[in-house]
Structure 1
Amino acid sequence: MIDNKHTHRGDGYFTLAGDINSDMVRRVFDALGKMTADGIGTAHILLQSNGGYVSDGICLYNTLRNAPLELVMYNGGAVASIAVTVFLAGQRRIASDTARFMIHKSHATAAVGARPEALQIIAEGLMADDRRTEAILRRHIHLTQRMWDVHAHSDLHLNPQDALDTLLIERLGDFSPPRGSLVFNI
């Protein structure tokens, strides 16, 4: 249980690191239950992830975006691939001046000797995932046409200034809970 005696004005401080997968989804669900039961009004979450599964990332985005609390997301190092979608769940988003972001199209590896029908199913799934993630990106950030062009064909890396310019973050800053606060790992 989160101890309210150690929170600052209803704030809670959390770290969330690793691959975006079903285990992370379960951990976030459990943490949200504890946050709401303990009366956390604002959750400050430091996210560190190089990505993972698209559907799990979209589930986390939708869950966190609609959670009954204010969510402040921090990037203190790297938020990449589908983790950028999770990061966008924050009503407020902050990044260290040494952080980086990376977005790219979905990709998969087909089995050796895969038949054309199987390849078509894989391609259709990847295109569907790209439509879902791009809709979320366009809802929150304003990439330049040059950035969209890079994203269409390769990894798009964004430094902190790019993140500010595109509204991916609202300001530069570090995850720095007040002295005496407890920090919980999700």
Structure 2
Amino acid sequence: MNGEQSSPSNEAWFTLSGDVNSDMVHRVFESVSRMTADGIETAHVLVQSNGGYVSDGLCLYNFLANSPVEFVMYNGGAVASIAVILYLAGARRYASDTARFMVHKSHATASPGARPDALNIIVEGLRADDARTESILRRHIELTPEQWAIHQYSDLHLTARDARTARMITAIADFAPPKGASLSNI
């Protein structure tokens, strides 16, 4: 084999970037459909996203975590906000040494002149979103009490080393498809 590395035929390499929204959900659904038709058992995915919509991120988390394809996630730059939740769907997770993660509570902007009953609905929705995302975070990562306190009221930024300590990632490693491997954008 001339010393060249190649990936097994049941593995594939992908990139996934952009806002977590209904377009990304559709792209992921289509891509996973092709993966299963092609007999892909393991998908290595480089994620680059600053977040987006909570419900779309939760949908992607649930879909990817329960897919017949095993997902191996990578962070080569930034995975933030709800993108962290979809990233946690990976059975194994890696981050480049220079990568960062950011998690925070949900937020929304009320319309000017919003009535109290409308504001209550917004607050109830935000609390529900926070409960859903925090249950996933607590299932996958172990933050210190100080980090949970920061998360409670502010953005919590984690380096790759912080993420390894918190068990968010398996190890610090780069997304590096083997020579000759096909690379597709989702």
Please indicate, yes or no, whether the TM-score normalized by the shorter chain is above 0.5.
Answer: yes
What residue identity is the alignment partner of 1:154?
S
Give the paired residue count: 181
SS of the aligned residue for 1:112 comes to coil
Question: For 2:15 and 2:145, how far apart are their aligned partners in 1?
Answer: 34
- The 5 A counterparts of 1:120-131 are 120-131=120-131
Report the Cα distance in structure 1 between the residues aligned to 2:172 and 2:7, rounded to whole angstroms: 23
Query: Is residue 97 of structure 1 aligned with residue 94 of structure 2?
Result: no
How far apart are the structure 2 equivalents of 1:159 and 1:76? 11
What is the deviation of 1:8? 2.8
The aligned amino acid for 2:40 is I
3-state SS, counterpart of residue 142 of structure 1: coil
1:77-135 deviation digits (Å, cap 9, x = unpaired)? 00000000000000000000000000000000000000000000000000000000000
Aligned to 2:88: 88
Letter in 1 for 2:116: P
Quote the Cα distance in structure 2 between the aligned partners of 1:59 and 1:8. Answer: 29
- For the Cα contact (< 8 Å) 1:84–1:101, is it kept in 2? yes
Amino acid paired to 1:139: R
Q: Is the 2:7–2:178 contact (alpha carbons within 8 Å) kept by the matching residues of 1?
A: no
Provide TM-score, normalisation by structure 1.
Answer: 0.96
Q: Does 1:70 align with 2:64?
A: no
Question: What amino acid is the match of 1:103?
Answer: V
Aligned to 2:47: 47
Over the aligned positions, Cα root-mean-square deviation in angstroms equals: 0.9
* Cα distance in 1 for residues equivalent to 2:7 and 2:53: 32
Normalising by structure 2, report the TM-score. Answer: 0.96
* Matching residue of 1:118: 118
4+ residue runs of structure 1 moved beyond 3 angstroms? none
Q: Distance in 1 between matches of 2:173 and 2:161?
A: 12
CA distance in 2: counterparts of 1:159 and 1:176, whole angstroms: 20
SS in structure 1 of the partner of residue 56 of structure 2: helix
Cα deviation, residue 151, structure 1: 0.2
Q: Is the 8 A contact 1:21 1:56 kept in 2?
A: yes
Of all paired residues, the percent bearing the same amino acid is 64
Unaligned runs of 5+ in 2: 1-5
